[in-house]
Amino acid sequence: MKKTFHRLAAATALAAFAAGFGLAGDASAQQKVLRFIPHSNLPAIDPVATTGYVVRNHGYLVYDTLFATDANFKIQPQMVDKWSTSPDGLRWEFTLRSGMKFHDGTPVRGADAAASIRRWSARDSFGQTLAAAVAGYDVVNELTFAIRLTKPFPLMIDALGKLSSQVPFIMPERIANTDPATPIQDATGSGPFRFVRDQWVPGQKAVYEKFADYKPRSEPPSWAAGGKVVKVDRVEWRIIPDGAVAAAALTQGEVDWLEQPLFDLMPQLARNRDISLEQIDPMGSVAMLRFNHLHPPFNDAKVRQAVQMAVNQSDYLQAIAGSKEYYKECKSVFPCGTPLSSDVGAAALAGNLDRAKAILKESSYKNEKVIIISPTDIPTNHVQSLVTEDLLKRLGMNVELVATDWGSVLARRASRNPAEQGGWSIFHTWWVGPDLVNPALHAPLRGHGAAAWPGWPTDPTAESLRDRWLAAATAAEQTAIARQIQENAVKEVPYVTTGQFQQPTAFRKNVTGIVISPVPFFWNVDKR
């Protein structure tokens, strides 16, 4: 009876959804249109202002990058034609490919790239490290710019070619000159698709059209690198928060691609001969619980340690994915299966509630309210929040769950006010593995206070160890420092890892060419 009710509810909601979008005969009927359901609403369009993956995914449609990461984790030139470094390592010069244009028809210039990197580096964790070494930017000519440094920065290309949030996308200078703390409203880029701003309805849809003047590279696509050849005329994002309705839309052919189907609906989708379920992210994602370090109770490391001790990863992973086919426990701050992963300090995540209560008694906790902010429209985050709500109550803490949409969560987590004055205490999220593989990229491990990822921990030891890792001369030295970084993280607890999981994607079998990658890309995708 329960399953019948859900099917009827999904069918009713799908009918309303189809009617609302006019799927029977819309204006794009003569075009090749790829209809896609993203994992959440697109609440904003500035990929520098947030680490939210839905905004990153939007960014890859409309912007391009100077360099890009390929499937072998190698950095490849993208917008750059050639580059050079001075003998002392204090000047890097970059020349762009000729003939590239922005969506407004203006040429892409070195000045645009310089301004974009300057703005990005004020917000991104890796970019901030670069910015600390920058003496200035020079525009050499129309296509060439240079970065002057106060000290050598050997990881320059790694920074400019990073795969995921926040990505150093290139914007027109007029937009890139916007204060990094002020979200942009103009999504003019030079990428393979143009954002149709007047058709964007937050909470309902976002529309992208093929950019006819885009000049793809000649190499085959590999993750974010290579030729971004567009094979559809239009990409329409359809926002469907209800997972059952989203699956029904895919099953009935109303949409072509569902980014993150609900795990408990995968057996049903797998039985449909018109649908493919594929794991396009071989590394998987790392789920986590993030604390606000600014205010009680989590400004006390003892309180954070108590929660860390109480966390039983299997509870979270079963809530997220259900079947062990899709998850594994991982108590490393670097994704399990990657070179820097380690079991150092794993005993601190023992899932021992009695020991956690004892640690909490040793702390400064005085029954302050713990406010968990949770997005109901992102099941992976919301189910983690429900597990944490129950766990903290059993631990003896005063807990309130505030469940809203993801856009509201993003807005509230930016607040640095105390929890009961519009702020927060805990939120849940996940990061794709490539974002966490080393200390240069790993934003949640940073301890640089007000400039850090929301949660804003201040941890001089973490910063010092990161600097040492960046300066290490050998892989063996880097590995040893990475173990020290993990030891410190177990002590200071900037966040708690709740496990590692793999999220398959689902698409109709008339869709081909999806690039195997941790990020959903829309070039090379075709629809028969």
- Is 101 inside a domain boundary? yes
Per-residue model confidence (pLDDT) at position 281: 79
Which among 383, 384, 281, 415 has a CA at the least distance from the CA of 335?
281
Mean pLDDT of 424-439: 97
Determine the Cα–Cα distance for residues 277 and 496; give it in Å rounded to an integer: 30
Give pLDDT, residue 23.
47
Q: Are 302 and 395 spatial neighbours (Cβ–Cβ below 8 Å)?
A: no
461/317 same-domain check: yes
Is the model's pLDDT at 375 over the cut of 60? yes
289-348 pLDDT per residue, tens: 999 999 999 999 999 999 999 999 999 999 999 999 999 999 999 999 999 999 999 999
Tell me: do 224 and 160 sit in the same domain: no
Q: What CATH number did the domain enclosing 152 receive? A: 3.90.76.10
Name beta bridge partners: 35: 236
Using the predicted structure, report yes or no on whether residue 8 has a pLDDT greater than 60.
Answer: no
Give the CATH number, domain containing residue 18. Answer: 3.40.190.10
| Same domain for 322 and 431 | yes
* DSSP codes joined into one string, 461-472: HHHHHHHHHHH-
Last residue of a domain, one of 121, 155, 187: 187
- How far is it, in rounded angstroms, from Cα 216 to Cα 521? 14
Token pair, residue 256, equals 């072509």
Q: Mean pLDDT across the chain, nearest whole number?
A: 94
255 and 299 together in one domain:
no
Q: Residue 444's pLDDT is what?
A: 98
Residues 331 and 477 in one domain: yes
| pLDDT band (50, 70, 90) for residue 30 | confident
- Residue-level pLDDT at 4: 40
DSSP 45-70: --TTT---HHHHHHHHHH-EESEEE-
pLDDT at 6: 44
> Which is it for the CA torsion 194, 199, 200, 205, positive or negative?
negative
Closest by CA to 298, choosing from 498, 415, 455, is: 455
Position 20 pLDDT exceeds 60: no
In a domain, 45, yes or no: no
- The answer to whether position 46 is within a domain reads no
- pLDDT tops 80 at residue 196: yes
Q: Are 210 and 232 in contact (CB under 8 A)?
A: yes
Confidence band of 26 (pLDDT split at 50, 70, 90): low
User: Is residue 367 included in any domain, yes or no?
Assistant: yes
Amino acid found at 192: P
With respect to residue 196, please indicate whether it lies within any of the assigned structural domains: no
pLDDT given at position 191? 98
Task: Enter the tokens of residue 23.
Answer: 């799927």
Please tell me whether residues 331 and 464 are part of one structural domain: yes
Same domain, 415 and 276: no
Within a domain: 515: yes
Average pLDDT over residues 92-116: 98
> Residue 442 is which amino acid?
H
3-state secondary structure of 78: coil
Is residue 1 scored above 90 in pLDDT? no
Contact (CB, 8 A) for 286 and 74: no
Return the pLDDT at 283: 85
Beta-sheet strands, E only, within 256-295: 257-258, 275-278, 285-291
pTM: 0.92
Q: Is the pLDDT of residue 74 over 50?
A: yes
Percent of the chain predicted with pLDDT > 90: 93
**Chain center to CA of 500:** 15
- pLDDT band for position 28 (cuts 50, 70, 90): low
Helical residues (DSSP H) of 22-109, grouped into ranges: 53-62
Are 443 and 427 part of one and the same domain? yes
Q: Helices then strands (H, E): number in the chain?
A: 15, 23
In a domain, 44, yes or no: no
Domain ranges, residue 523: 2-39+203-281+504-527
Q: Is residue 267 located within the same domain as residue 313? A: no
CA distance 397 to 393: 5
Query: Domain tally for the chain?
Result: 3
Same structural domain, 212 and 102: no
User: Residue 478 maps to which CATH number?
Assistant: 3.10.105.10
What mean pLDDT is predicted for residues 176-202?
Answer: 97
- Report DSSP state, residue 519: S
For residue 17, pLDDT over 90 is answered with: no
Q: Which residues of 394-425 are buried (b: 16+ CB within 10 A; e: fewer)?
A: ebebebebbbebbbbbbbbbeeeebbeeebbb
Average the pLDDT over 118-129 and give the result. Answer: 97
Q: Residue 282 has what pLDDT?
A: 77
Give the span between the Cα atoms of 101 and 80, in whole angstroms. Answer: 14
Q: Taking residues 226-231, what's their average pLDDT?
A: 98
Rounded mean pLDDT, 169-176 = 98
Percent of the chain with pLDDT over 70: 95
Q: Are residues 429 and 339 in the same domain?
A: yes
Q: Looking at residue 220, what DSSP letter applies?
A: P
How far apart (Å, rounded) are the C-alpha atoms in residues 343 and 243? Answer: 35
Q: Encoding tokens for residue 186?
A: 């103009």
